[in-house]
A and B are shown apart, each in its own frame.
Chain A
Amino acid sequence: MHIDLKKEIKESNPGQIGVAILVLMIVLAMLAPVLGRYDPLQQSTTTLLSPSRGHWLGTNHVGQDIWSQLLYGARTSLAVGFSVGVLGLLLSILFGVSTALIGGVYDRVVMRIVDAFIIIPMVIVVILVAAYIKPSLLLLIILLSVLSWPSGARAIRAQTLSLKQSGHISASRAFGAGELYIAWRHILPDLVPILLVEFIYGVRRAVFMEAGLAFLGIGDPMVVSWGTMMHDALRFSYLDVWRWWLVPPGVALSLTIIGLTFISHAAEAVVDPRLRDEAVA
């Protein structure tokens, strides 16, 4: 299981493209206050302007600068994506590793719940909850994290179970190492590749869900989001404004998800060497 993760991703073409796209998005998101000259939520009387020197992508129906919204939208998207990715992954590790190490009734009960969670579609649960509680960004992050950990937990559990059988762990145990020590010192480091894959999956799912829910109009109106932009722009699609209002957030969102897909494809090959292209005769 000792594989050089960085090397694998560097050597894969899609992996490189994916990392490049993601880095670009992160830079745009970080530089949003510098690159966008307007407050993305600042409304004005100059509505539905065409692109000009002052407003690169024009203005929307309440006079907000679309270019600034696009940049701040990247912040929301990435912030939700990475937060859910991290939180979901922590839950996956907690349950995946503990079920594999403890086993018995605990393992069976948790895995049953995991299976049940996996088959319930996430979208509809979030919609149901959102129908009662108007979710803030924080609540959305928590909700998505709670709903997205089970598939990762299952993969991590399987990997831990196979690691548990390996020689160096038996050796460590024979030398008197405790379970927690083994988990921290020997199992977690070897789980890194699969953790990366699950993390990217989680981020991708969350970016998609955040945009989709905002597109439905669920979400905090005080938060700029690509989904909200598309939701608003769609109502004005009979005008020509879609060219600079609807298409840019759509392309930005798709690019982000494509970048994440490329990275996860490269990372999958790390976890499952059978998929490596060069290994094919």
Chain B
Amino acid sequence: MKAIKNNLVTYGIAFLLILALNFILPRMMPGNPLTAIYGGEAMIAMTPELKAHLIERFALDKPLWEQFGAYFLALLRGDLGFSYYYNAPALKVILGHLPWTLLLVGSSLVLSTVLGIVLGIESGWRRGTKTDRTMLAGLMSLNGFPDFFLGMVLVLIFGVMLRVFPLAGALTPYSGLSGLPLVLDVLKHMVLPVMALTLAHLAGGYLLTRNTMITVLKAPFMLTAKAKGLSEKVLKYRHAGRNSMLPVITMTGIWLGRVVTGALFVELVFAYPGVGQLTYQALLSRDYPVIQGIFLMVAISVLIANFLVDLLYPKIDPRVSHAH
């Protein structure tokens, strides 16, 4: 419990750092802070009344600490600001894009974690053999490919050359599909981006499982298990495998926290309408409320994911709760 309490303090510090960065950056900019907070787009539509209203809302005529208070209170109300580019509240814009990203990152996270663990167990079990060495070299090389380049290669092979999968987007526009055909359409559009993300992250789980596996296999309890005459499958998966999964769980937790930005580059390659694409658009159009909102969402999901891992970890590995 003490560990969790300590971690909560860390999360608190991380969150404050993020808030501070979000708050200070636009106000540090030379020129009118309103432009820096709202972006150029807003200044075109600005009327004197609106301007007065906004200055009051952000307490821009007050000292910095009062401004921070106003900023913090607005956040507590779930008010991330207003995007003049989309003419909608930033929160609404972001939430509209979020499901697509969750779909992409969620499925690739499950796929790459499960595959990574299985490959890692098999490879670690055969440590030092030719199969192990080949797998290790292969997956380490795969680890070097940035996800966006993998995505482009997949588009070129399966989209441009073989024409099996669509090149871009999350569904066929104006197709008027519903029910099962719609689901199939979405799935078809998902295949390549999910494949790119899965391949790019496969090596992480694999390397971690394999490394732990090699250490675990030397543990005395493995000798005992072997002496009991257990079958290879039970030895490999129930005894060694289960213990080798632990670091991967931590890693997956960290990835889960990066769910919002996890597909940033890949979404761009596939013009997939998720938060990554939104971030890129917001960056191009200097839509500051949206960028700040995304940053805040990232921060919150990172903190929640870390907290979940902390809560879950002692349940998977009872040694942790006895350690303190």
Contact = CB atoms under 8 A, between A and B. Distances in A.
Interface stretch (A40-48, A188-196, A212-220): A212-220
A250 B291 contact: no
A73 to B, nearest CB: 14
B294 A119 contact: no
B13 A116 contact: yes
B265 A132 contact: no
Contacts of A116: 10-11, 13-14, 17
B14 A121 contact: no
Nearest to A276: B214
Chain A, interface residues (CB within 8 Å), range: 35 or more
Contacts of B257: 119, 121
A130 interface: yes
Contact of B261 (A121, A218, A230, A265): A121
Interface in B4-35: 7, 9-11, 13-14, 17-18, 21-22, 25-26, 28-29
A112 interface: yes
Contacts of B251: none
B67 interface: no
Contacts of B211: 275
Contact of B298 (A124, A130, A256, A277): A124
B122 to A, nearest CB: 15
B141 A258 contact: yes
A94 interface: no
Contacts of B286: 131
Interface residues of B, number: 60
Contacts of B36: 132
Interface in A222-281: 230, 234, 237, 242, 246-247, 250, 253-262, 265, 274-275, 277-278, 280
A158 interface: no
Main secondary structure of the interface of A (DSSP, over half): helix
Given A277-B127, A277-B128, A254 B149 contact: yes
A62 interface: no
Contact of A132 (B25, B141, B143, B269): B25
B146 interface: yes
Nearest to A277: B128
Given A127-B279, A275-B214, 10 more contacts: A14-B136, A124-B261, A125-B21, A128-B22, A128-B295, A131-B288, A217-B280, A230-B149, A246-B152, A258-B143
Question: Which are the 5 A-B pairs with shortest beta-carbon distances?
Answer: A258-B144, A116-B14, A257-B144, A250-B149, A115-B10
29 contacts: A115-B13, A115-B14, A116-B11, A120-B14, A121-B257, A121-B261, A124-B261, A124-B298, A128-B21, A131-B282, A131-B291, A132-B26, A132-B28, A132-B36, A211-B146, A212-B265, A215-B265, A217-B283, A218-B283, A234-B269, A237-B152, A250-B149, A250-B152, A255-B144, A256-B144, A258-B140, A274-B215, A275-B214, A278-B128
Interface of B: 7, 9-11, 13-14, 17-18, 21-22, 25-26, 28-29, 36, 127-128, 136-137, 140-141, 143-146, 148-149, 152-153, 155-156, 160, 211, 214-215, 218, 254, 257-258, 261, 264-265, 268-269, 279-280, 282-284, 286, 288, 291-292, 294-295, 298-299, 302-303, 306
